[in-house]
Amino acid sequence: MHEHPLQRFFKSLRERPVFAWERYQMRDVLVIDHPLCQAVFSRQGAQLLHFQPRGQKPWLWCAAKWPHVGAIRGGVPVCWPWYGRHPSENAWPSHGWARLLDWKLLDSSTGDDGVRLHWQLQLCDWQVDLHAHLGERMELRLSTEHQDDMPCQLSQALHAYWRIGDVSEIALSGLEGAQGYDQLNREVCQQEGELRVDGGCQRVFQHDGELQLKDHAWQRELCIDTGESADTVVWHPGARPLLGVTWDEISEFVCVEAAAGGTDSLHLAPGEKAHLSLQAWAAA
């Protein structure tokens, strides 16, 4: 079982400030050490890379080695302003520009219920804001405002990599009866019973709201809520290799994502906003 690579920041016995910038693998990262939780954000992508409530195992997985440039695999990448491949420009990066660019941290605050952060990215005629509330729970809210005078198309996702003991020993409940599309087999599907992903999975479910990630190896259950007006995407590569990720690491995550507009892009009128959220908490 590998230690989360960003837990290294919390091994020192010296007292840390709640917020501290560090340099790690050629990226600026914001290390958060609060009585309720520990977390790490990357300035690139406003990407939450590590989250761990006190007394618990990490909730998010992150690759041990990052590329010198490009996207960081792990945590919760913000896929925006498109999710997956661009619908017309094949040379443009998968999952959009947001996870490749540096965001501005407009505000950070601490309280008895945890920490709150507000990140923002301005790109052409779009403004996108990410609000995070971290404590005993994890809450991310993404808001896009279209500022041009012409309509536009948008798709987006909060592409969460959840840390688990072993992918062969997990099950997802709460999707029973949900209609979806199996992208590996290229066919529509309907979930019957609990979903197990050992062997590979890439399914998009017409499902919003809560589901449960049952992790038998770690004897814990996380409740994950993909909010309203979003699809729930479940992904694991199975036996397919991932560039820069070891075989042992691949068994230690599963992706359960909130996504909107992936199959049918959202159409935004001038001044219109689009919202996406992802929440998680430990089952009692």
Q: Which amino acid appears at position 198 of this protein?
A: D
Q: In 74-137, at which residue ranges do the beta strands (DSSP E only) sit?
A: 78-79, 104-111, 114-123, 126-134
Of 95, 159, 207, 236, which one is the catalytic site residue? Answer: 159
CA-CA distance, 195 to 198, in Å (whole number)? 10
Annotated active-site residue 257? The verdict is yes
Which stretches within the chain are classed as H helix? Answer: 247-250
Instruction: Supply the pTM of this predicted model.
Output: 0.95
Is the pLDDT reported for residue 263 higher than 60? no
The pLDDT of residue 262: 63
Higher pLDDT, 280 or 93: 280
Q: Is the model more confident about 65 or about 86?
A: 65
Residue 100 phi/psi, 5-degree rounding, is -105, -15
Question: How sure is the predictor about 2, in pLDDT bands with cuts at 50, 70 and 90?
Answer: confident
Q: What is the pLDDT of residue 94?
A: 85
The alpha carbon of 7 is separated from its chain's Cα centroid by a whole number of angstroms, namely 18
Specify the DSSP class assigned to residue 116.
Answer: E
Query: pLDDT, tens digit, for every residue of 225-259?
Result: 998 877 999 999 998 999 889 999 999 999 999 99
* pLDDT of the residue at 84: 78
The secondary structure of residue 234, as a DSSP letter, is: E
Q: How far is residue 45 CA from its own chain's centroid?
A: 11
Asked whether the predicted pLDDT for residue 194 surpasses 90, the reply is yes
- How does pLDDT run across 57-83, given as a tens digit for each residue? 999 999 999 999 999 999 999 999 988
Q: Rounded distance, CA 4 to CA 59, Å?
A: 10
pLDDT averaged over every residue in the chain? 92
Q: Please tell me the CATH code under which domain 7-282 is placed.
A: 2.70.98.10
Does residue 68 have an active-site annotation? Answer: no
Query: 3-class DSSP state for residue 253?
Result: strand
pLDDT number for residue 155: 87
d(CA 242, CA 182): 20
Q: Does 90 score more than 60 pLDDT? A: yes
**Measured in Å, how far apart are the chain's first and last C-alpha atoms?**
25
Whether the predicted pLDDT of 1 surpasses 70: no
pLDDT value at residue 201: 95
Cα separation, 187 vs 178, in Å, equals 14
Give whole-number Cα distances, 177 to 17, 19, 37, 85, 215, in Å: 47, 43, 35, 28, 21
pLDDT single digits (tens) 155-173: 899 999 999 999 999 999 9
